[in-house]
Structure 1
């Protein structure tokens, strides 16, 4: 049995990962920013599958909150074996020339700074040379990192490209310290992140043009994340796995 912490786990890919992990018999700490009801709902679903669940509120851009999130997860679950760096946001579709400073700061603060703070605390708490028991980290990037998202989300694309670089660097930094670090790059996935960017039909509309002819599901991405966390992926380190239907 494993104990895992997932940031942004009250919805979308994070929630699907929590539920699949529960199906594997793993205990899950469900981090959320503000939607306590959604987090409690996810926790009830984890528990209905016979696994332990812990909800942990915390803004990933707040250094103290991230440290407290790890303290709560470690104490509540009795240690950590895996972390999914998932919390992220997009903003309404715009070309870069029309993006405000406030928008850029929010996108980079949550997607980049929040991910780096989460990964840093995971390294501090899980590294074998710091008294941790090692484990695995999975970073949720995006196909936008290599496609660029022109006229839509070049800020988000750049933020996710930073996470690809973080994954590669940390896999080399933390591998000798007992932590495998890998990433998944989802493509057009049916989650409510598209609605938050002002295009609720985006995944279905653009997914039809992929080689597989459809959008993907959060459950399909969760399968790849849980595999990378599992012992079945024991020799996977520094991998960036595209879950895009061939896009």
Structure 2
């Protein structure tokens, strides 16, 4: 007999301790998910988010993950399965932009790190998740949501071209995985936020970037993390049962 707890979806959210990841965690906890949240350095932030999700009735595990370590990425899904018995969802949210500025002012070493964290880490995580979820391998199916960016389609000149390139690669990976594993019970989609009010801009050296860009957004303002979380929750839900290899752009019309 399946218990109520065993029937709850179990979703991994990378970078779940702040910004868009935290908003996704809070939304999914309210919708009945149990969660695995990862963080790189700021454990206290992740634990605060976890406490709020637990108050909403979710079981939550908080795990460290440096996405530059691809071996550690490959072990995250198996570790989540050890703790919860299964994984039904993966949200590849964690990422970095690199420094904001002209292309020639950046270094190839920084670009390499951006690609490693934003492309190769999600690839390693997707491999593990699909191997666990695939009905052709004895799994029960599942859903993966990759958090991309509107920058993937406009290139981000004078801003962060390596970041835009990494997100374009993520979109292409999503398209391929969504099609290859559609008959294996695994749906793979992206959400592509436009400029959103998070700390990622401060980490790149431009804390006021969201407000600076507001004039170029048809809605006249940056997005807020909960506005991204709603689309992620939809893609993980049964309402999206016929949606795969699809990108949802959330950019205020830009």
Structure 1 ranges of 4+ moved more than 3 A: none
C-alpha RMSD of matched pairs (Å): 1.1
d(CA) in 1 for partners of 2:75, 2:146: 20
Contact 1:137/1:179 (<8 A) preserved:
yes
d(CA) in 2 for partners of 1:66, 1:125: 14
The alignment of Structure 1 onto Structure 2 pairs a total of residues equal to 247
d(CA) in 1 for partners of 2:186, 2:201: 32
1:59 maps to which residue?
Answer: 66
Q: State how 1:221-236 maps to structure 2 within 5 Å.
A: 221-236=228-243
1:44 maps to which residue?
Answer: 51
Of 103, 106, 115, which residue of structure 2 is paired with 1:108?
115
TM superposition shift of 1:188: 0.8
Contact 1:60/1:118 (<8 A) preserved:
no
Q: TM-score, normalised by structure 2?
A: 0.94
1:141 maps to which residue?
Answer: 148
Contact 1:56/1:73 (<8 A) preserved:
no
Q: TM-score, normalised by structure 1?
A: 0.97
d(CA) in 1 for partners of 2:248, 2:24: 16
d(CA) in 2 for partners of 1:93, 1:85: 22
TM superposition shift of 1:214: 0.9
Cα deviation, 1:140-159, whole Å, max 9, x if unaligned, reads 00000001110110000000
1:35 maps to which residue?
Answer: 42
Structure 2: stretches of 5+ with no match in the other structure: 1-7
2:184 maps to which residue?
Answer: 177
Cα deviation, 1:2-32, whole Å, max 9, x if unaligned, reads 1100111111111110110000011010011
Contact 1:8/1:30 (<8 A) preserved:
yes
SS at match of 1:93: coil
Cα deviation, 1:69-110, whole Å, max 9, x if unaligned, reads 212211222211110011100122122222112211111111
* 1:125 corresponds to 2:171: no
d(CA) in 1 for partners of 2:132, 2:68: 18
Of 54, 78, 84, which residue of structure 2 is paired with 1:77?
84
Of 206, 216, 219, which residue of structure 2 is paired with 1:212?
219
Of 98, 121, 131, which residue of structure 1 is paired with 2:105?
98
d(CA) in 2 for partners of 1:120, 1:113: 10
Structure 1: stretches of 5+ with no match in the other structure: none
* 1:167 corresponds to 2:177: no
Of 200, 205, 219, which residue of structure 2 is paired with 1:198?
205
Contact 2:78/2:128 (<8 A) preserved:
no
Contact 2:22/2:49 (<8 A) preserved:
yes
TM superposition shift of 1:51: 1.0
Contact 1:185/1:240 (<8 A) preserved:
yes
2:22 maps to which residue?
Answer: 15
d(CA) in 2 for partners of 1:64, 1:228: 27
